[in-house]
Chain A
Amino acid sequence: GAVVSQHPSRVICKSGTSVKIECRSLDFQATTMFWYRQFPKKSLMLMATSNEGSKATYEQGVEKDKFLINHASLTLSTLTVTSAHPEDSSFYICSARDLVVQGSSSYNEQFFGPGTRLTVL
């Protein structure tokens, strides 16, 4: 299957600083990537949909000025958490969409990165 990487895997930062997380599709081009967040013992929740060359679409309740998304190329999307606070501490995971062909049928699938654990002190 398609491979998606994220960098860094873990980051610890001080309150008030900004943190950038990268999501890369390694062996395919992705016009659409998705950013999710997961709090302990909670579900993965979609934050935003990132489309190459255009503005991201944010889910209700997600602050677009706080979580800046840039999808500048077909293999890279970045999420910047600006002025991070302890309540932003979470597991951030991206996915990238690719077409899967199985025999005579095909479908779009989201391939997930390994996630980034952010801790804000």
Chain B
Amino acid sequence: QKEVEQDPGPLSVPEGAIVSLNCTYSNSAFQYFMWYRQYSRKGPELLMYTYSSGNKEDGRFTAQVDKSSKYISLFIRDSQPSDSATYLCASAPSNFGNEKLTFGTGTRLTIIP
């Protein structure tokens, strides 16, 4: 079983829709949960990180972690064509800047104007 599972998509939604991206993980030691956005021919860019369970909101983006079910979600409200990218979830047991990151495979998202 992979430590972090992510539906690779692709996922296409119309502009303005709410997007829900999800991952599951199996390692109970994971404490930090990250979402990265990767545009074509670019490196992953950190969108948000969450420590332990709970919600975190940043503008149109909301990250949710449910440690009881080992479920990670990213919601994008009022989606824009510029949100079209590959989104990767990642987890780490402690300080994610210093630690090995375990990534999902990434979900390719297209927002249709």
Residue of A nearest to B92 (CB): A110
> With the chains together, A112 CA to B36 CA distance in Å?
10
Taking CB atoms and an 8 Å cut-off, the chain B residues in 30-50 that contact chain A are: 36, 41-46, 49
Q: Is the interface of A mostly helix, strand, loop or mixed?
A: strand
Determine whether B105 belongs to the interface, using a CB cutoff of 8 Å to chain A. yes
Q: Mark A82-121, 1 if CB is under 8 A from B, else 0.
A: 0000000000010101110000000111111111000000
Interface pair A32/B42, CB less than 8 Å apart: no
Number of residue pairs across A and B with beta carbons under 8 Å?
Answer: 58
> With the chains together, A44 CA to B95 CA distance in Å?
18
> With the chains together, A49 CA to B97 CA distance in Å?
12
Determine whether A46 belongs to the interface, using a CB cutoff of 8 Å to chain B. yes
Interface pair A114/B8, CB less than 8 Å apart: no
Query: A101: shortest Cβ distance to chain B, in Å?
Result: 12
Q: Mark A22-44, 1 if CB is under 8 A from B, else 0.
A: 00000000001010000001111
Query: A30: shortest Cβ distance to chain B, in Å?
Result: 11
Residue of A nearest to B4 (CB): A43
> With the chains together, A114 CA to B97 CA distance in Å?
18
Tell me whether A43 and B104 are in contact in the complex, defined as CB-CB below 8 angstroms, given that A108-B97, A109-B46 are known contacts. yes
Tell me whether A42 and B41 are in contact in the complex, defined as CB-CB below 8 angstroms, given that A49-B100, A97-B97, A108-B95 are known contacts. no
Residue of A nearest to B97 (CB): A108
Q: Give the interface of A toward B (CB within 8 A).
A: 1, 4, 6, 9, 32, 34, 41-46, 49, 59, 93, 95, 97-99, 107-115
Q: Which 5 A-B pairs have the closest CB atoms?
A: A108-B97, A112-B43, A44-B103, A43-B103, A112-B44
